[in-house]
Structure 1
Amino acid sequence: MKVIEIDLDYIANEESLIALGNFDGVHKGHIELIDTAIKRAKELNVKSSALIFKEHTDNLVNINKKEILTDNDTKFEIFEDLGLDIIYLIDFTKEFMAYSPIKFLDDFLCKNLNVVGVVVGYDYTYGYKKEGHVDFLLDNKDLFKSIDVIAPVKNNHTKISSSLIRNLIKDGDIKKANFLLTRPYKLVGKVIHAKGLGKKMGFPTANLELVDNYVIPKFGVYDTDIIIDGKRYKASTSIGTNPTVENDGIKVEAHILDFDEDIYGKTVQLEVLDFLRPEIKFDNIKDLFEQISKDVEVTRAR
């Protein structure tokens, strides 16, 4: 798979059939869309592609940065596993946002990116003030050889969406979120130095500085896997404010089972598997670490 950074003047040298969307989370609905694009591209004997923005489109107009489910590097890994040929990576700028729907379809997709077919979700919008919609795309079907519109993908009569999955994660229903994502929810972070209290008490932790503005799971303790240099280890992970000790900002602290290596400065991946218990403020440090010992044993037994 090729990742090609482009701007609005980029001219593609090969035809492709393109999948369009924000793809935050790359959940079951997104996967059906990508699979359809790959299948249709093979039928037309062209490359399959997707248009990805460097940051979520909401970040251009909202003051607060969008909480995301999936960073771009993770999206790329998933797309490559699905079999996509090309990712076009572009900044979402005010100039791009101001494109009329027809300019986006005709000038940008057809003329610049050499797109011959499109796959979108039923609620896909584009162009200035999101004036472009599926009906307008279908009204201009003569621009393309192929247009596919993916109907809502549902689970127990509920439409699967990034918003639904965000809410599940915030509610601590991580197992259902993972089912809809088709894989464990993942946080990526750099291991940083902290106060070292866990190490002094016999439970050293990897304290993560997250690399992006991820959706933060409900505060509590989680059964997790942590991936370090491509190797997977079990970990009991606390996500929250650590109210017993300091209550100073949100912290992600992973106690890695049967592991004793210096990993400061490394970027690691934390896969969140299951919610074990809510965050608790204990009366003293002794009670806190007695509970941590129990949490570790629960994680070890899973």
Structure 2
Amino acid sequence: MIFLRVVTVGVFDGVHIGHVEILSRLKRLAEEFNSTSEIYTIVFPMEYYKGHFDGLLIPLEDRITLLEVYGEVFPLELNEIKDIDASKFFEIISKDTKGIVVGKDFRFGKNAKGDISLLEKLCKKKNIKLEVVNDLTENGKRVSSTLIRKLIKEGNIKLANKLLGRAYPVYGKVYKDKQLGRKLGFPTANIRRHKELVIPKFGVYLSKVYTPKLYFGLVNIGLRPTVEKTKNVKYEVYIFDFNENIYGKEIRVELLEFLRAEEKFKNINDLINRMKEDEKLAKKILEEKYAS
């Protein structure tokens, strides 16, 4: 028995609101044809191989989890497909296929020579329904993973969250560091994060923290210029109204608002006073915007 399918191909990093348009259309088309939906996600975009890539928005395993809501997921390594001729690549993805759904910027085949015009001709020959999804825009700019990475690097976390369709996550396993926060009166959970991910703008963020229980808190991202200049980026989470041992546990932090950029203070007392102001401002924002 031949099982028919509908397919889509793309990187889908972050699975943002533009991707959701494509994926939702894919799912509807699969229902229309009573077929399976298959999603081919390219692990890293071309920029990664060219050496000027800011990092993924989320780890691949999380991308797959989000994509699985819409169909069966198959990761593709770009190096394994980038030299395949456009027509040959189409033959691979069009086997037993009733429909193809892509974004309007979709390119395929060696040197990205395959475009929507070619895809339309090839689909017509094989009687495959092609749906091309128009871009979503925000203030005249196309919603894309590249744009969201740029916003995160600039600290524009509120707009980044809007385009993602959810709060941007920073998470990892809590490890024991030098306990500098505790000595300053602000005990923090230090987390190790995937190295291939985009690094947000250095500074202090109001955040949700899941331990897995929900709390609010502050996250400082940076190099600790006042107390010790480190080479590796530190992710330090100060959780409000929390006093538990979570070393070795995974916690999830969602960045809500960027409060201020990282600073080098003249002395420790100035740093402590600023941290107190940060906490006061964060709790004021929580009362005004996030109180249930």
C-alpha separation between the residues in 2 aligned to 1:125 and 1:184? 29
Pair 1:78-2:89 in alignment? no
Report the Cα offset of residue 133 of structure 1: 1.4
Q: TM-score, normalised by structure 1?
A: 0.87
Return the offset for 1:13.
6.9
Structure 1 residue 272 and structure 2 residue 261: aligned? no
The answer as to whether partners of 2:46 and 2:78 remain within 8 angstroms in 1 is: no
What secondary structure sits across from 1:258 in the alignment? coil
Q: What is the CA distance between 1:77 and its match in structure 2?
A: 3.4
Q: Could you tell me which of 214, 223, 248 is aligned with 1:232?
A: 214
Asked whether 1:57 is paired with 2:45, we answer yes
**1:248-296 CA distance string (max 9 Å, x none):** 1321111011122222222222211101111111111121122112212
Provide TM-score, normalisation by structure 2: 0.90
CA contact (8 A) 1:224 1:274 kept: yes
Over residues 91-117 of structure 1, what are the superposed CA-to-partner deviations in whole Å (9 max), with x where a residue is unaligned?
A: 333x422111111111x2133xx4321
Which letter does structure 2 place at the counterpart of 1:87?
Answer: V
Shift of 1:130: 1.3
Partner of 2:276: 293
Structure 1 position 187 matched with structure 2 position 170: yes
CA distance in 2, matches of 1:64, 1:191: 30
Number of residue pairs aligned between Structure 1 and Structure 2:
283
Deviating 4+ runs (over 6 angstroms): none
* Matched-pair contact (CA < 8 Å) for 2:206–2:258: yes
Structure 2 distance, partners of 1:14, 1:60, is 35
Q: How do residues 126-165 of structure 1 correspond to structure 2 at under 5 angstroms?
A: 126-141=108-123, 142-165=125-148
Q: Which amino acid in 1 is paired with 2:74?
A: Y
Query: What is the percent sequence identity of the aligned residues?
Result: 35
Cα shift at 1:64: 5.7
Query: Which residue pairs with 1:110 in the alignment?
Result: 94
Distance 1:143 1:190 in 2: 50
User: Given residue 242 of structure 2, which amino acid in structure 1 is its aligned partner?
Assistant: F
* Counterparts of 1:209 and 1:144, CA distance in 2: 50
List gaps (5 residues or longer) in structure 2. 287-292
C-alpha separation in 1, matches of 2:150 and 2:48: 23
Q: Distance in 1 between matches of 2:48 and 2:66?
A: 25
Q: 1:242, 1:248 within 8 Å by CA — same for their partners in 2?
A: yes
2:67 is matched by which residue type in structure 1? F
* Contact in 2 for aligned 1:257/1:300 (Cα 8 Å): no
1:244 aligns with 2:233: no
After superposition, the CA RMSD in angstroms is 2.0
Mapping of 1:198-209 within 5 angstroms? 198-209=181-192
Distance 1:60 1:291, change over 3 A: closer
Is the 1:118–1:144 contact (alpha carbons within 8 Å) kept by the matching residues of 2? no
Whole-Å Cα distance in 2 between the matches of residues 66 and 135 of structure 1? 31
In structure 1, C-alpha distance between the alignment counterparts of 2:47 and 2:209, rounded to whole Å: 29
Give unpaired runs (5+ residues) of structure 1. Answer: 1-11
Q: Is the 8 A contact 2:97 2:128 kept in 1?
A: no
